[in-house]
Amino acid sequence: MADTLWEDRDVRFDISPQQLRMRSGEKCIDRLDAIEDTKGNNGDRGRLVVTNLRVIWHSLSVPRVNLSIGFNCVINISTKTAQSKIRGTSEALYVLTKCNDTRFEFIFTNLISGSPRLFTSVITVHRAYETSKLYRDLKLRGALIQNKQLRLLPQEQIYDQINGVWNLSSDQGNLGTFYITNVRLVWHANINESFNVSIPYLQMKTIKIRDSKFGLALVVETSTSSGGYVLGFRIDPAEKLQSVAKQIQNLHKVYSHCPIFGVEYDTEDRTPVAEDLPVEPIQDDVDIEHDDQTDAFAAYFADGDKEKDREPVYSEELGLAIEKLKDGFTLSGLWEVLS
């Protein structure tokens, strides 16, 4: 399912109302109704919705004008002063993102002065997202085991622990232990705890029983975005293998239906946000097909009109790696222009 989950891993512009809708497991954490997108839609009042996966902004006058910024793309969030058409010089939220090697910068200004809610909401939710990666990301050789026990995540429950599971990634195989929880499948080698793998159901593509050179084995294939690994495990006897596979498949199904993303955010005494759609349904009699050809993103480039960085090369002059120079440019020439 990870390959269909784009909400937190993509920056999209002018998306359809279907895409604006919350997916299963996605929760609206905060909604602010007077936010200006200072960079792309300066002077336009809009609504900002913070979910556990992304930040959505859409114009209130033209709801089709919108942004969806996945938290996984965010590099840095800071507050700086910006020039807003509606509020003049004011403190604004700067969000720097990188998506498919293109850096975008977003600036949001709260039109209600004196309220830090915009900053606190986005920054704390992003922090919560960053510190809960084990829920969503495949992890190899991590510090998962402590005192011979699995270090549990806050919303995690162990459903089953299975000893005598062979990992088939080396010639002789490694004997280890399975932990099956409501979020993920964890295996670790019995003799080397630091040799382990944590596979959230989110990242599982297929769970099958296949024949291998070690005999029948449980094969877990992970999503392409996580690296497309194929992990083989052998459990004896075959009936046990069957039941474990069945269990994992069922849990995967349950999880896919109702995913746990692990982004916990204490809403404090905030006005309770209804679990409704972030955008009021628009009565559009004609649904115009967008071919994703808008050039709205051009306004948000973080580095001028540059879409992609060039190759790194080693510079003898500086003794450091630099971005390959454009033809006809020299390092000292570029530097002297500035100074």
Partner 1 sequence: MSLFKTRDWWSVAIGEDEEFDHGCLCIGNIDNNPDNVDKIIIGSFHGILRIYNPHPTKTENGWSGYKVEDVMVEQAFQLPILQIEVGKFSSVTENLQLAVLHPRKLAIYSVKAISGTVEHGQQYQIQKLYEHNLQRTTYNFCYGPFGGIKGKDFICVQSMDGTVSFFEQESFAFSRFLPGALLPGPLKYVPRLDSFITVSSSWHVECYKYQSIAAASQSPGVDETQNIKSGKKIVVDWTFSIGEAALDINVIAFPQAPSSILVLGERNLYCLTEGGLLRYMSKMEFDPCCFLPYGSMTEGTINYIVATTTKSLLVYQDVTLKWAAKVEHCPVQVKVANFQDLKGSIVTLSDDGHLQCSYLGTDPAIFIPPATDARDLNYKAMDAEMEKLQKKIREKAHKAVITPNLKTDDDLQITVHVNQHLDDGSSATNDAQIPGEKVPSITARIVLKAKTLVENIHVDIHTSRPLTSSQHSFTLSSLESGKSTELLVQFYMKYCSLPSTLSAEVSAKYPSATGAPRVATAKIKLPLKLVMKPVFPVKNAEHKLTIDTNKPPVSLNDIFPDLLGENAGSAGAALGFQFFGGPVVTILASKSSQRYRLQCDQFEAMWLPLKDLVGRLTSHLNRGRSGDFKASFDGSLPLQEYFELIEAHFEYRMNAVKCEEMLGQRASQFRVIQRRLLTKFKDKTPSPLQNLDTLLEGTYRQLLALADAIEDNNQAQNNTSDNLSSGTNLLNYLIKLWLDLTEEEFSVLTSVITPIVNDNHQHGWEEMVDAAVTHLLRTVLAKTAKDTSINPAPLTIPSDASKVKKHIALMCDRLGKGCRLIEGLRERSEHKQKLPAPKKMNITENGTINETPESRPVDNIVNMKYNENKKKKKLPPLAGDNISTNMFDSETFGLPVTDIPDGDNFNEKRRQKKIEAIVPNLDDMDNQDDDRNINQTDSQALFAL
Interface residues for partner 1 in 197-226 (CB under 8 A)? Answer: 197, 226
Stretch that binds partner 1, among 25-33, 45-53, 272-280, 317-325 (CB under 8 A): 317-325
3-state secondary structure 208-251: EEEEECCEEEEEEEECHHHCCCEEEEEECCHHHHHHHHHHHHHH
- Smallest gap from Cβ 285 to partner 1, in A, equals 17
Contact 13, 296 (CB under 8 A): yes
- Smallest gap from Cβ 165 to partner 1, in A, equals 15
- Smallest gap from Cβ 75 to partner 1, in A, equals 6
5-34 residues near partner 1, rule: CB under 8 A: none
Task: Tell me the C-alpha distance between 94 and 81, whole Å.
Answer: 9
284-313 residues near partner 1, rule: CB under 8 A: 294-296, 298-299, 301, 303-306, 308-310, 312
Using CB under 8 A, pick the residue from 4, 24, 170, 271 that binds partner 1: 170
* Tokens linked to 113: 């002065």
- Smallest gap from Cβ 277 to partner 1, in A, equals 23
Nearer to partner 1, 60 or 62 (CB): 62
SS3 label, residue 18: helix
Task: Report CA-CA distances (Å) from 74 to 16, 123, 127, 200, 268.
Answer: 22, 11, 11, 22, 24
What are residue 295's phi and psi, to 5 degrees?
-105, 25
Stretch that binds partner 1, among 18-26, 158-166, 190-198, 257-265 (CB under 8 A): 190-198
Task: Report CA-CA distances (Å) from 183 to 129, 171, 288.
Answer: 16, 30, 39
Stretch that binds partner 1, among 46-54, 252-260, 268-276, 323-331 (CB under 8 A): 323-331
Partners of residue 204 on adjacent β-strands: 222
DSSP state of 272: P
Nearer to partner 1, 31 or 176 (CB): 176
Does residue 79 bind partner 1 (CB under 8 A)?
Answer: no
- What is the secondary structure of 276-291 as a DSSP string? S-SSPPP--SS-PPP-
Nearer to partner 1, 269 or 295 (CB): 295
80-119 residues near partner 1, rule: CB under 8 A: 89-90, 96, 98, 100-101, 113-114
